[in-house]
């Protein structure tokens, strides 16, 4: 099953016999507070216009729990996550399509959580809302209650698992290269990377239009980074959001990968954990 869907394919499916549930997960990693500006408001953007029938999902409140020692976007309480999905009309037997404002990170986080907790049919709108050429609506739908019950699966790493995978397989760091190298760190306590991790910025998985590169090109890219067939692969980022987008890119390339949700925000919060700096993984 494809992990992504084009806008034209979505248009067709919405008029088909089994239309997907649509989730709008507009979100931005905002540093506006430090500049005295209001942070990005995903709900306001949703209410100003969304794909007809889409339900808004709040990443910070429904796809993550409160920040703390487990990172800035730790796993949500699964009972609360399940309730949010059911309120949005998500059922096990109904396909789901998730989109955001175009970056793809937030949509990928929702995609990963639904897949990890057992939903069999979830896709991300490739390129997000900017690719949608149909009408937008401002009315907020009230879908029928869904029946989805989340059950945790495999493909989740904790800090120890990420450290071990960096030695035994391939651990990809999805952040920008300068954060990986420790040259800048705008958010977390210390710059650098998990020893043994390989720099693989998420933005190199997409073209100028925000859509994913073709599957073959993605496969070649990941192979060059060491993620070839038979290799165990994991991904982390700052707080488990852009890394979900990397896991999605790997899925497009048909390479399974695990996600370290706590990511650098959890790793760097413990001064006893080792930190590597510079371009060398070690």
Q: Which residues are catalytic?
A: 237
Query: What are the Cα distances from residue 232, in Å, to 40, 84, 225, 252?
Result: 36, 32, 13, 16
Q: What six digits make up the tokens of 72?
A: 């800035």
- The edge-to-edge listing of strands for the beta sheet with 258-260 is 156-157, 258-260, 233-236, 170-173, 198-199
CB 236 within 8 A of CB 243: yes
What is the Cα Rg of the chain in Å?
18
Q: What six digits make up the tokens of 30?
A: 């905002």
Q: Which of 175, 169, 171 is closest to 191 using CA atoms?
A: 175
d(CA 216, CA 222): 10
CB 53 within 8 A of CB 14: yes
From first CA to last CA, the distance across the chain in angstroms is 36
- The strand ranges marked E within the chain are 4-5, 21-24, 55-56, 96-99, 122-125, 156-157, 170-173, 198-199, 233-236, 258-260
d(CA 133, CA 126): 13
């Amino acid at each position: 099953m494809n992990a992504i869907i084009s806008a034209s394919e979505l248009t067709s499916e919405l008029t088909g016999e089994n239309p997907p549930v649509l989730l709008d997960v507009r979100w931005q990693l905002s540093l506006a507070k430090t500049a005295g500006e209001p942070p990005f408001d995903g709900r306001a953007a949703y209410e100003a216009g969304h794909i007809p029938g889409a339900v808004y999902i709040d990443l910070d409140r429904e796809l993550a729990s409160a920040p703390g020692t487990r990172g800035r976007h730790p796993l949500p309480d699964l009972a609360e996550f399940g309730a949010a999905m059911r309120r949005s009309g998500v059922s096990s037997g109904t396909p789901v399509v998730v989109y955001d404002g175009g970056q793809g990170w937030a949509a990928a986080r929702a995609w990963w959580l639904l897949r990890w907790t057992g939903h069999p049919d979830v896709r991300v709108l490739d390129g997000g809302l900017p690719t949608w050429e149909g009408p937008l609506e401002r009315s907020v739908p009230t879908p029928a209650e869904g029946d989805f019950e989340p059950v945790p699966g495999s493909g989740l790493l904790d800090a120890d698992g990420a450290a071990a995978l960096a030695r035994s397989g391939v651990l990809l760091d999805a952040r920008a290269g300068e954060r990986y190298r420790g040259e800048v760190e705008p958010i977390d306590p210390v710059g650098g990377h998990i020893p043994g991790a390989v720099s693989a910025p998420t933005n190199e998985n997409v073209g100028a239009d925000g859509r994913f590169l073709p599957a073959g090109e993605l496969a070649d890219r990941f192979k060059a980074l060491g993620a070839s067939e038979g290799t165990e692969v994991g991904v982390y980022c700052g707080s488990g959001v852009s890394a979900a987008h990397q896991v999605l890119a790997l899925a497009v390339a048909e390479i399974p990968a695990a996600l370290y949700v706590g990511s650098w925000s959890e790793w760097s919060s413990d001064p006893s954990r080792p930190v590597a700096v510079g371009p060398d993984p070690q």
